[in-house]
Amino acid sequence: MEWLADWIQEKQKLNVDVRASQDLEPLTEDMKIFLFQATRELLFNVIKHAEVNRATVLLHRDPTGLTLQIIDRGKGFDPDQLQTSKRRKNFGFGLFSVQQRLEWMGAR
Protein backbone atom coordinates (compact mmCIF):
# COMPACT_ATOMS: atom_id res chain seq x y z
CA MET A 1 0.00 0.00 0.00
CA GLU A 2 2.85 2.38 0.77
CA TRP A 3 4.40 1.67 -2.63
CA LEU A 4 1.05 2.32 -4.32
CA ALA A 5 0.62 5.58 -2.39
CA ASP A 6 4.09 6.76 -3.46
CA TRP A 7 3.45 5.75 -7.09
CA ILE A 8 0.06 7.52 -7.20
CA GLN A 9 1.60 10.65 -5.71
CA GLU A 10 4.46 10.64 -8.20
CA LYS A 11 2.37 9.87 -11.30
CA GLN A 12 -0.99 11.46 -10.50
CA LYS A 13 -0.13 14.14 -7.91
CA LEU A 14 -2.61 12.73 -5.37
CA ASN A 15 -1.25 12.76 -1.83
CA VAL A 16 -2.19 9.47 -0.18
CA ASP A 17 -1.89 8.77 3.54
CA VAL A 18 -1.87 5.03 4.32
CA ARG A 19 -2.93 3.87 7.77
CA ALA A 20 -2.84 0.12 8.23
CA SER A 21 -3.20 -1.96 11.37
CA GLN A 22 -0.25 -4.04 12.44
CA ASP A 23 -2.45 -7.14 12.91
CA LEU A 24 -3.24 -7.74 9.22
CA GLU A 25 -1.17 -10.88 8.75
CA PRO A 26 -1.67 -13.56 7.69
CA LEU A 27 -3.40 -12.54 4.50
CA THR A 28 -3.58 -14.93 1.58
CA GLU A 29 -1.82 -13.95 -1.62
CA ASP A 30 -5.22 -13.67 -3.33
CA MET A 31 -6.44 -11.28 -0.63
CA LYS A 32 -3.30 -9.14 -0.92
CA ILE A 33 -3.74 -8.91 -4.69
CA PHE A 34 -7.43 -8.02 -4.35
CA LEU A 35 -6.74 -5.33 -1.74
CA PHE A 36 -4.02 -3.79 -3.91
CA GLN A 37 -6.20 -3.79 -7.04
CA ALA A 38 -9.27 -2.46 -5.21
CA THR A 39 -7.25 0.29 -3.55
CA ARG A 40 -5.71 1.28 -6.87
CA GLU A 41 -9.13 1.37 -8.56
CA LEU A 42 -10.68 3.40 -5.75
CA LEU A 43 -7.79 5.88 -5.71
CA PHE A 44 -8.16 6.34 -9.46
CA ASN A 45 -11.81 7.16 -8.83
CA VAL A 46 -10.68 9.85 -6.39
CA ILE A 47 -8.36 11.25 -9.05
CA LYS A 48 -11.01 11.19 -11.78
CA HIS A 49 -14.07 12.31 -9.88
CA ALA A 50 -13.50 13.78 -6.42
CA GLU A 51 -11.70 16.98 -7.44
CA VAL A 52 -9.29 16.82 -4.48
CA ASN A 53 -5.55 16.33 -4.10
CA ARG A 54 -5.53 14.20 -0.94
CA ALA A 55 -6.96 10.84 0.14
CA THR A 56 -6.51 8.45 3.05
CA VAL A 57 -6.37 4.65 2.86
CA LEU A 58 -7.45 2.89 6.06
CA LEU A 59 -6.94 -0.85 6.37
CA HIS A 60 -7.76 -2.57 9.64
CA ARG A 61 -9.26 -5.61 11.31
CA ASP A 62 -12.35 -5.24 13.43
CA PRO A 63 -14.72 -7.78 15.02
CA THR A 64 -16.50 -8.31 11.69
CA GLY A 65 -13.35 -8.86 9.60
CA LEU A 66 -11.05 -6.80 7.43
CA THR A 67 -12.09 -3.27 6.46
CA LEU A 68 -10.66 -1.16 3.63
CA GLN A 69 -11.71 2.48 3.43
CA ILE A 70 -10.69 5.15 0.96
CA ILE A 71 -11.52 8.56 2.38
CA ASP A 72 -11.48 11.90 0.61
CA ARG A 73 -13.27 15.20 0.97
CA GLY A 74 -14.42 15.23 -2.64
CA LYS A 75 -17.70 16.18 -4.20
CA GLY A 76 -19.24 12.72 -3.70
CA PHE A 77 -21.95 10.83 -5.56
CA ASP A 78 -25.16 8.94 -4.85
CA PRO A 79 -24.22 5.28 -4.19
CA ASP A 80 -27.80 4.19 -4.89
CA GLN A 81 -27.10 4.91 -8.56
CA LEU A 82 -24.74 1.93 -8.65
CA GLN A 83 -27.62 -0.50 -8.15
CA THR A 84 -29.13 -0.47 -11.65
CA SER A 85 -27.26 -1.46 -14.78
CA LYS A 86 -28.67 1.52 -16.69
CA ARG A 87 -27.27 3.98 -14.15
CA ARG A 88 -24.07 1.96 -13.72
CA LYS A 89 -23.09 2.79 -17.31
CA ASN A 90 -22.61 6.40 -16.20
CA PHE A 91 -20.05 5.31 -13.64
CA GLY A 92 -17.98 2.91 -15.73
CA PHE A 93 -16.74 -0.40 -14.35
CA GLY A 94 -14.47 0.66 -11.47
CA LEU A 95 -16.79 0.52 -8.47
CA PHE A 96 -18.94 -2.12 -10.11
CA SER A 97 -15.98 -4.44 -10.67
CA VAL A 98 -14.79 -4.00 -7.07
CA GLN A 99 -18.31 -4.75 -5.85
CA GLN A 100 -18.54 -7.85 -8.07
CA ARG A 101 -15.19 -9.18 -6.86
CA LEU A 102 -16.25 -8.63 -3.24
CA GLU A 103 -19.48 -10.54 -3.77
CA TRP A 104 -17.63 -13.35 -5.51
CA MET A 105 -15.35 -13.65 -2.47
CA GLY A 106 -18.34 -13.68 -0.11
CA ALA A 107 -17.56 -10.21 1.23
CA ARG A 108 -19.23 -6.83 1.08
For the question of whether the overall pTM of this predicted structure is more than 0.85, the answer is: no
pLDDT on residue 6: 97
Cα separation values, 96 from 93, 103, 105, Å: 5, 11, 14
CATH classification code of 2-75: 3.30.565.10
The per-residue pLDDT of the chain, averaged, comes to 86
- pLDDT over 90, % of the chain: 52
Please, are residues 65 and 107 in contact by the beta-carbon 8 Å criterion? yes
pLDDT on residue 103: 86
φ, ψ of residue 66 to 5 degrees: the values are -95, 135
Distance CA 45, CA 79 (A): 13
Mean pLDDT of 81-108: 71
Span 50-93, pLDDT tens digits: 999 999 999 998 888 899 999 999 988 777 776 665 555 555 56
